[in-house]
């Protein structure tokens, strides 16, 4: 169970000790404070609880308040007792075992920044292809799904095939790619599109490793449809630009998956 106890505008004034309560078994967590840069969560683990090895995309610190346990961080065992303060860098594998009832605050720092720009040459080339995408976008995305479903038929089950037949999904993808081409230097303005698509992706269980499948199908489709206009320079620019867009989605979808976990 997780609930937010304070916000930056309405701080919680009481003693943290008063918030500690242990479940019969497992973990009780309470988000004490959260803003867009960081999150402070109180974890209360019942004696005997184990958290299997996992990683986090964010830097984290653990501050132990009471109890006893063992944190295994990068294969090194660290005893957790009141007052212990441990820094865990992003992506470091860690696991936890509570030998006694154990209470600690976990502080997650700012999300690591993804690259938010492409080179100036790429930017110009992408913008120069926008008129082509406006005209032939849906032809490209229809071809892209054709290539993807032929080479990777297993992804078909994530899609509504009716929307493929009536062209509405290729149209939605074409609109998104055209918007990206015209706003690649102002990603902030794509926020509402990214939100909508990322939520739809999470609903349909899209995984980070699937972005390379879509990427290679999309680039091939551009070549097929644009013909001579798909010069090596244009294709190299789209390869770089696609990677950036994929990272934006992967990062946002990761956050949504974590919130829903
Ligand atoms: C940068 C790459 C991608 C872009 C620009 C993109 C764009 C979109 C858009 C615009 C939609 C429609 C959202 C809505 O309902 O309004 C969508 C839906 C969807 N996308 Fe993506 N997508 C990308 C990557 C992927 C990947 C890697 C997969 C994995 C196979 C995927 C699978 C899906 C699925 C399953 C849906 C729902 C389609 C349906 O309802 O039939 N997408 N995407």
Ligand 1 close to Cβ of residue 231 (< 6 A) = no
DSSP per residue over the chain, as a string? ---EEEBTTB---S-GGGG----SSSEEEEEEEE-SS-EEEEEEE-TT-EEEEE--SS-EEEEEEES-EEEEETTEEEEE-TT-EEEE-TT--EEEEESS-EEEEEEE-PPPPPP----HHHHHHHHHHHHHHHHHHHHHHHHHHHHHHHH-GGGGGGS-HHHHHTSHHHHHHHHHHHHHHHHTT-GGGGHHHHHHHHHHHHHTT--GGGHHHHHHHHHHHHHHHHGGGS-HHHHHHHHHHHHHHHHHHHHHHHHHHHHH-
Statement: 4-108 belongs to CATH 2.40.110.10: no
Ligand 1 close to Cβ of residue 169 (< 6 A) = yes
Cα–Cα distance measured from residue 17 to residue 33, given in angstroms and rounded to the nearest whole number: 15
Nearest atom in ligand 1 to 215's CA: 2
* Greatest mean pLDDT range, 45-54, 119-128, 217-226, 250-259: 217-226
Nearest atom in ligand 1 to 173's CA: 10
Instruction: Give the tens place of pLDDT for each residue, 194-248.
Output: 999 999 999 999 999 899 899 999 999 999 999 999 999 999 999 999 999 999 9
The full set of domain ranges for the chain reads 4-108, 120-260
Instruction: Give residue 87's pLDDT.
Output: 95
Instruction: Give residue 119's pLDDT.
Output: 87
Instruction: Give residue 241's pLDDT.
Output: 94
Tokens of 122: 């790429």
Per-residue pLDDT at 249 exceeds 50:
yes
Distance (Å) from CA 177 to ligand 1 centroid: 11
Ligand 1 close to Cβ of residue 176 (< 6 A) = yes
Model confidence band, residue 2 (pLDDT cutoffs 50, 70, 90):
very low
Considering only CA atoms, which of 155, 238, 117, 248 is closest in space to residue 195? 248
**CA distances (Å), origin 85, targets 51, 52, 55:** 18, 20, 18
Nearest atom in ligand 1 to 161's CA: 41
Ligand 1 close to Cβ of residue 51 (< 6 A) = no
Contact of 95 with 51, CB cutoff 8 Å: yes
Tokens of 215: 């990427």
Mean pLDDT of 24-39: 85
Instruction: Give residue 189's pLDDT.
Output: 92
Instruction: Give residue 53's pLDDT.
Output: 84
Measured at the CA of 251, the angle between CA 247 and CA 257, to 5 degrees, comes to 140
Per-residue pLDDT at 72 exceeds 90:
yes
Instruction: Give the tens place of pLDDT for each residue, 159-183.
Output: 999 999 999 999 999 999 999 999 9
Ligand 1 close to Cβ of residue 219 (< 6 A) = no
Distance (Å) from CA 223 to ligand 1 centroid: 21
Distance (Å) from CA 111 to ligand 1 centroid: 24
Would you state the CATH architecture of domain 120-260? Orthogonal Bundle (1.10)
Instruction: Give residue 8's pLDDT.
Output: 59
Instruction: Give residue 178's pLDDT.
Output: 97
Active site residues: 211, 253
């Amino acid at each position: 169970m997780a609930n937010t106890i304070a916000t930056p505008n309405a701080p919680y004034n009481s003693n943290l000790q008063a918030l500690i309560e242990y479940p019969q078994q497992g973990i009780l967590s309470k988000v004490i404070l959260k803003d867009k840069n960081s999150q402070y969560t109180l974890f209360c683990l019942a004696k005997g609880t184990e958290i299997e090895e996992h990683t986090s995309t964010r830097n984290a610190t653990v501050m132990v308040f009471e109890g006893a346990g063992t944190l295994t961080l990068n294969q090194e065992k660290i005893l957790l007792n009141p007052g212990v303060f441990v820094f865990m860098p992003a992506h470091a594998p860690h696991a936890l075992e509570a030998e006694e009832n154990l209470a600690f605050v976990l502080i997650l720092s700012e999300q690591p920044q993804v690259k938010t720009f492409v080179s100036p040459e790429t930017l110009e080339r992408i913008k120069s292809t926008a008129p082509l995408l406006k005209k032939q976008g849906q032809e490209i995305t229809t071809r892209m799904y054709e290539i993807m479903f032929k080479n990777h038929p297993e992804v078909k089950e994530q899609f509504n095939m009716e929307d493929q037949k009536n062209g509405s999904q290729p149209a939605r993808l074409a609109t998104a790619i055209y918007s990206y081409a015209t706003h690649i230097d102002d990603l902030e303005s794509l926020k509402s599109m990214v939100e909508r698509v990322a939520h739809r992706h999470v609903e349909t269980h899209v995984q980070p490793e699937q972005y390379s499948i879509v990427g290679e199908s999309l680039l091939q489709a551009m070549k097929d449809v644009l013909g001579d206009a798909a010069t090596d320079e244009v294709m190299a620019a789209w390869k770089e630009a696609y990677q950036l867009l994929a990272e934006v989605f992967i990062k946002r979808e990761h956050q949504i998956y974590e919130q829903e976990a």
